[in-house]
Amino acid sequence: MILLALGCNLGPREATLQRARAALQEAGIEVLAASSLHETPALMPEGAPADWDLPFLNQVLQVRTDLAPGPLLACVKAIEARLGRRPASRWAPREIDIDILAHGSAPLDQPDLVLPHPQMHLRRFVLAPLCEIAPQWRHPLRGRTAAELLAQLPP
């Protein structure tokens, strides 16, 4: 199963997520399932500027593609750039963010891509939408389903 997380907190957020889904389809990445949109607070590092505190819209997609993880990463980064994402610090607000959460059941650990996404099991804004479309998806390293991982998080 190939899972992508989409998020944005700048500009017309819902329209941007629609454009991201359309761009994925145009690139030959078939969207098989899409969660509803979830509005969540921004993760704010200590000392972050107050203007970074903009809520995100998040969504998880199950997709089908013949692209291997590396080419898929290049494709989603190109889509991010086309949709206006600019280089910024890790926690800065963003026009669009497309993360690969998982690509099949085999883990991957490369300098530019770690799968499954190394923080996904800690993020309600990933697990809640994931549970809408694939609650029985099993984390290949943690051995727990998406629903079990979500249930372990604090409220």
Three-class SS state of 16: helix
pLDDT at position 136 is 97
Alpha helices in 87-145 (DSSP H): 124-133
Q: Which residue has the tokens 């329209």?
A: 15
Phi first, then psi: give them for residue 70, nearest 5 degrees. -60, -50
pTM of the model: 0.94
Q: Which residues fall within 8 angstroms of residue 77, CB to CB, at 6 or more apart?
A: 98
Phi first, then psi: give them for residue 38, nearest 5 degrees. -120, 125
* Residue 131 vs residues 29, 119, 145: alpha-carbon distances, Å: 21, 16, 9
pLDDT at position 16 is 97
pLDDT at position 106 is 87
**Among the listed residues 27, 33, 28, 26, the one whose alpha carbon sits nearest the alpha carbon of residue 3:** 33
pLDDT at position 11 is 93
Q: Which residues sit opposite 63 in a β-bridge?
A: 2, 31
* Ordered per-residue pLDDT tens for the chain, 155 residues: 999 999 999 999 999 999 999 999 999 999 999 999 999 988 877 877 777 789 999 999 999 999 999 999 999 999 999 999 988 777 788 999 999 999 999 899 999 999 999 999 999 999 999 999 999 999 999 999 999 999 999 88
DSSP state of 29: -
For the record, the structure tokens of 56 come out as: 């995100």
Phi first, then psi: give them for residue 77, nearest 5 degrees. -65, -40
For each of the domains in the chain, give its residue range(s) and CATH number, in order of start: 2-40+56-152 (3.30.70.560)
CB 30 within 8 A of CB 70: no
